[in-house]
Amino acid sequence: MEYTNLGNTGIRASVAGLGCGGGSRLGQARGLSTQESVALVRVAMDLGVNYLDTAAVYGTEAIVGEAIKAVPRDEIFVATKATIRKGGDLLPVEDMIASLENSLREIDTDYVDVFQFHAVPPALYDRIREEYAPAFLREKEKGKIRHLGLTETPPNDPAGEMLIKASQDPVWEVVMLGFHMMHQVARRNCFPGTMKNGIGTAIMFVVRSIFSIPGRLEETMATLAADGKVPAWLAESDNPLGFLIHDNGGAKSVIDAAYRYARHEPGTDVILFGSGIEEHIRTNIGSILGPPLPEADVAKLEALFGHLEGVGLDLPEPRKT
What's 164's domain CATH number?
A: 3.20.20.100
**pTM higher than the cut 0.85:** yes
**What mean pLDDT is reported for the chain?**
96
Q: How does DSSP classify residue 128?
A: I
pLDDT of residue 321: 55
Q: How does DSSP classify residue 262?
A: H
**Is 245 domain-assigned?**
no
Which of 93, 101, 174, 200 has its CA nearest to residue 144? 101
**Is 318 domain-assigned?**
no
**Is 253 domain-assigned?**
no
Which of 8, 107, 4, 102 has its CA nearest to residue 51? 4
**Is 273 domain-assigned?**
yes
Contact indicator for 30, 276 with CB cutoff of 8 Å: yes
pLDDT digits 0-9 by tens, 185-229: 999 999 999 999 999 999 999 998 899 999 999 999 999 999 999
pLDDT digits 0-9 by tens, 153-165: 999 999 999 999 9
pLDDT of residue 3: 98
| Alpha carbon distance 174, 194 (integer Å) | 9
**Is 278 domain-assigned?**
yes
pLDDT digits 0-9 by tens, 8-58: 999 999 999 999 998 888 999 889 999 999 999 999 999 999 999 999 999
| CA end-to-end span of the chain | 23
Question: Would you place residue 316 in the very low, low, confident or very high pLDDT band (cuts 50, 70, 90)?
Answer: low
**Is 299 domain-assigned?**
no
**Is 242 domain-assigned?**
no
Contact indicator for 101, 111 with CB cutoff of 8 Å: no
**Is 110 domain-assigned?**
yes
Catalytic machinery residues:
58
DSSP-assigned letters across all residues of 9-44: S--EEESEEEE--TTTTTTGGGT--HHHHHHHHHHH
Exposure class string for 289-304: b at 16+ Cβ within 10 A, else e: bbeebeeebbeebeeb
Residue 188 structural domain: 3-205+262-291
Number of compact structural domains in the chain: 1
pLDDT digits 0-9 by tens, 246-256: 999 999 999 99
| Alpha carbon distance 83, 100 (integer Å) | 10
Cα dist from 93 to 48, 59, 119, 165, whole Å: 36, 21, 15, 21
User: Across the chain, how many H-helices and E-strands are there?
Assistant: 14, 12
Question: Would you place residue 317 in the very low, low, confident or very high pLDDT band (cuts 50, 70, 90)?
Answer: low
Question: Would you place residue 87 in the very low, low, confident or very high pLDDT band (cuts 50, 70, 90)?
Answer: confident
Helices (H), the chain: 34-46, 61-67, 93-107, 125-127, 133-141, 161-166, 186-189, 191-197, 208-212, 216-226, 232-236, 254-263, 278-288, 295-305
